[in-house]
Structure 1
Amino acid sequence: MHELVGALRSYAWGSRTALAQLRGGPVPSAHPEAELWFGAHPADPARVQINGHSESLLALVNADPQHELGPVAGEFGGRLPFLLKILAAEEPLSLQAHPSIEQARAGFARENHSGVAIDSPMRNYRDENHKPELVVALDRFEALAGFRDPRRTVQLLEALGVPELSQYAELLAAQPDSAGLRTLFTTWIALPQGSLSMLLPKVLDGCVRYLSEARSNGKEFVAEVRTALELAEAYPGDAGVLAALLLNRITLEPGEGLFLDAGNLHAYLRGVGVEIMANSDNVLRGGLTPKHVDVPELLRVLDFEPLDLPIVEAQRVSDSVFRYHTPAPEFALSRFELAAGAEPVRAVQSGPVIALVTRGRVKLSQGNHELIVERGHAAWISAADGGIRARAVAGDDDADGSAQLFCAAVGEE
């Protein structure tokens, strides 16, 4: 096992405080810090510290997949199949979805054939993989995810009291299913700018009225309506604001997870979380971003089936161990709540595993080999390692001596 240094990604929606505090860096940071990648994705692999020098995790795995990955090397083409991140959103992310593996392979080949550079901002498909993902909240985490039950969306549209919305509410009421959602979403996301400029201000006026009245008598769609107003302020004149009215509005408390499979439309709004996904960077955007938007391609991959709130509750394995179950074969995620002074717990049976500390300090032990991992840092545990135990150890910045550890591994069939 070796220390693993994450690759820091800076995007406009990131935080100048959250990741800086987590890593023990200067606060505020010089630039918004959005994501810390711990993985072997070619776009930004993490660095493994070995005998005083630094080596890319991607290069390490490529040099000897069998040693680093073990039996799963053959199953996943000699590649680490998951990517672990810490995500810190100060502002909303784009309205987006991810392709299935078949869609990703076809899209990647198509863009290669068309000569779109792999690092082009116009690129949709940067690899051949799909991207199911799970985010677990470290603090309160807000998101839009999946299409809401159409009947409740009709109630929301009617509650805004905007005459110009009546035709759309009637359209969805007449066909309250995935086909109706597809029709309404496609209509809104493709509105000509002139039509959008006339409709959107009236909708936002309706949102303001709704919130004003809600202060006196309370209403069920306050979070959804407030989110629409916040998105309109961040992205004025964007059709994604209308599309957001069709989605589930979700709040995760610390420790709760949100799983999103291929085709699920979503937008993370704010918060800090640990995110694990298949090893991919494929994103199809439909709005709420200055980045490349490709509505036709997004429509090709979207799943319009209404989605129940896709919250993943951790399964308690013991007093200190919690597991998040998803159908993704590429990854599995466990959380360890390590009490001060407690006996070491078995954290890793066998690699490949990335062990990430999100609170306190953790001592990882394998026989006589020990590694102290600080908050915001991680360890790479190869298939050649095994039997890793973890315990919290006191640090200067940790009052009670407890610690929190996440372990990312390959999923089970």
Structure 2
Amino acid sequence: MDRLLNTVRPYAWGSATAIPELLGTEPTGEPQAELWMGAHPGAPSRVDRGQGAVALSEVIAADPAGELGPDAVRHFGPRLPFLLKVLAAASPLSLQVHPDRAQAEAGFADEEARGVPIDAAHRNYKDVNHKPELICALTPFDGLCGFRDAGETAELLAALEVDPLKPYVDILHARPESHALREVLTAVLTADREAMADTVHQTAAAAERLGAQDGPYAPAYRAYAAIARHYPGDPGVIAAMLLNYVRLQPGEALYLGAGVPHAYLDGLGVEIMANSDNVLRCGLTPKHIDVPELLRVVRFESDGPGVLRPEAESSGEEVYTTPIDEFRLSRYVLPEGGGPRPLPSRTPQILLCVSGEAVLRGEAVPRDEGAAGEAAELRLRQGESAFVPAGEAVALSGPGTVFRATVVA
């Protein structure tokens, strides 16, 4: 067991207080957006095994089979295939979508062949991997996820009574859904910027008005109006109105697969994702937007946001079921005075305590040759995390709530 020393990423959209409150530290006054746990080269966690802090990525690279286990290495190669985060949003993140694996491989190969520098601002594909992700709310958490039913979106837009939106309403009524969604999103992202900015201003004012009234779309209108306050005149405000607005309650989660447009708006959550940096943006950002490539990757089909709730197993583990193997997220709600919960040990795992305290007890470690063993113990306070290599048997007790991140192998 290794206590993780983690890095906080200070992105502009981050909360100044949420992660410090979780960690029990003083706010710096600057935004603290993401706490990273894992071996991603951008900000790997560090561990100290008695010779000073070393990047977890280096520890794994030195002995992949020993740290990850032979099954994980066989399935995913000699690297930890997921990144665990605490995400704290105080303003909307960019509206974005991720490619599937085949799209990522083709896009990466194309940009490499064209000589696009890997760190170029206009580069879309930084690696050959897909980037499915899961966000689980620790506080009420607002987001956008997937296209709303086209007929319902037409109704929502029509109620705004903004003249430049009427052609979109007509398209959503008249065309087959996938064609309509593609045509409207294309029109929004390729429109004259000055004219679109005026449309966004009119739409934001109308959304403010309707959000203050009762109605089935009032919470969504309030969310869109808030987005417009952060990104005045941005075409992404109109693009966001094509998507389902969802508010997660603590413990609820969203799974975001390839091609699903989404944005996180506000709240604190635990996020897990495949180790990739491939993002195509639709708006709500000053960063590069490649409209043709975006339209090639987006899945133009409506679906509900698909809110996930954990499924309890007899072991006490509560699992968020997803259709991919690179990560598996679960949690343990450990009561006061409860017995230790043995954890599966075949795969590598990261344990994150989000409330209370957790005690990890490992196998007996000999003090001297021939002497009785003494069990290793590690205490995690709220906000602290640990890496447990594959093959290391650990039992967990509380009282506290612990998220467990591992792989399916």
Is the TM value for this pair above 0.5?
A: yes
Match for 2:337 among 334, 337, 341? 341
CA contact (8 A) 2:99 2:258 kept: yes
Partner letter of residue 389 of structure 1? A
The superposition leaves residues 143-200 of structure 1 with CA deviations (integer Å, 9 ceiling, x where unpaired) of 0010001111011112112233222111110125111101111111111113213322
Please say if residues 312 and 319 of structure 2, whose CA atoms lie closer than 8 Å, have aligned partners that are also in contact.
yes
What is the match of residue 59 of structure 1?
Answer: 58
8 Å CA contact 1:348, 1:389 repeated in 2 = no
Which 10-residue stretch deviates more, 140-149 or 14-23? 14-23
Give distance in 2, aligned partners of 1:347 and 1:120: 43
1:127-206 to 2 correspondences below 5 Å: 127-206=127-206
Q: Secondary structure at the match of 1:48?
A: strand
The corresponding residue for 1:256 is 252
Q: Does 1:245 align with 2:251?
A: no
TM-score (norm 2): 0.93
Deviates more, 1:121-130 or 1:183-192: 121-130
Equivalent residues in 2 for 1:362-401, closer than 5 Å:
362-367=358-363, 368-386=375-393, 388-392=394-398
Q: Does 1:268 align with 2:274?
A: no
Q: Does 2:221 match 1:225?
A: yes
Deviations 1:326-375 (A, max 9, x none): 00111111100011221111233333111111112211011211111222
Q: Deviations over 1:63-121 (max 9, x none)?
A: 11111111210211212111111101011000001111111122222333333333333
Please tell me the residue identity of whatever aligns with 1:407: R
Q: Distance in 2 between matches of 1:324 and 1:191?
A: 40
In the aligned structure 1, how far is the partner of 2:158 from the partner of 2:20?
44
1:25 maps to a residue whose letter is T
1:409 paired to 2:406:
yes
- Report if aligned partners of 1:151, 1:176 keep a CA contact under 8 Å in 2: no
- Call closer, same or farther: CA 1:8–1:208 in 2, change over 3 Å: closer
> What do the CA deviations read for 1:192-218 (whole angstroms, capped 9, x no partner)?
113213322332233233235x2xxx2
2:303 is aligned, of 296, 303, 307, to 307
Residue pairs, 1:28-67, within 5 angstroms: 28-67=27-66
**Equivalent residues of 2:40, 2:83 under 8 A apart:** yes
Which whole-Å CA distance do the structure 1 matches of 2:174 and 2:296 have between them?
Answer: 24
Give the whole-Å Cα distance in 2 for the aligned partners of 1:18 and 1:391: 26
How far the C-alpha of 1:308 sits from its partner, in A, is: 1.6
Specify which of 285, 307, 314 is matched with residue 289 of structure 1.
285
- Equivalent position amino acid for 1:65 in 2: P
Would the aligned equivalents of 2:137 and 2:249 in 1 still touch at CA under 8 Å? Answer: yes
User: What is the root-mean-square deviation in Å for CA atoms of aligned residues?
Assistant: 1.6
Using the TM superposition, name which of 188-197 and 158-167 deviates more.
158-167
User: 1:25 is matched with which residue?
Assistant: 25
**Given residue 396 of structure 2, which amino acid in structure 1 is its aligned partner?**
A
Read off the aligned partner of 2:386 and give its amino acid letter: A
Q: Which residue of 2 aligns with 1:396?
A: none
Aligned residue number for residue 323 of structure 1: 319
What's the counterpart of residue 395 of structure 1? none
* Equivalent pair of 1:256/1:311 in contact (CA under 8 Å): yes
Flag structure 2 segments of 5+ consecutive residues without an equivalent. 364-374
SS of the counterpart of 1:142? strand
Partners of 1:143 and 1:268 within 8 A in 2 = yes
In structure 1, runs of 5+ residues without a counterpart are 393-401
- Equivalent positions of 1:64-143 (< 5 A) are 64-70=63-69, 71-143=71-143
* SS of equivalent to 1:5: coil
Q: Name the counterpart of 1:397.
A: none
Name whichever of 105-114 and 244-253 sits farther off. Answer: 105-114
Conserved 8 A contact 2:197-2:235: no
Q: Which amino acid aligns with 1:174?
A: A
CA-to-aligned-CA distance 1:1-21 (integer Å, 9 cap, x gap): 111122221100001111112
Q: Do the aligned partners of residues 52 and 391 (structure 1) sit closer, same or farther apart at CA in structure 2, a change above 3 Å counting?
A: farther
Q: Secondary structure at the match of 2:187?
A: helix
* 1:56 CA drift (Å): 1.0
Give 1:381 shift: 0.9
Given the superposition, is the C-alpha separation of residues 139 and 209 from structure 1 closer, same or farther in structure 2, using an over 3 Å criterion?
closer
Q: Which whole-Å CA distance do the structure 1 matches of 2:227 and 2:176 have between them?
A: 26
How far, CA to CA, are the matches of 1:271 and 1:304 in structure 2?
A: 27
Q: Which amino acid aligns with 2:119?
A: D
Which letter does structure 2 place at the counterpart of 1:158? A
Q: Is contact 1:232-1:241 (8 Å) kept?
A: yes
C-alpha distance in structure 2 between counterparts of 1:98 and 1:17, whole Å: 29
Give me the whole-angstrom Cα distance separating, in 2, the residues matched to 1:20 and 1:294. 36
Find the aligned partners of 2:64 and 2:100 in 1 and give their Cα distance: 25
| TM-score of the two chains, using structure 1 as the length reference | 0.92
Contact 2:92 2:263 in 1 (8 A): yes
Identity percentage over the alignment? 44
**AA partner of residue 62 (structure 1):** A
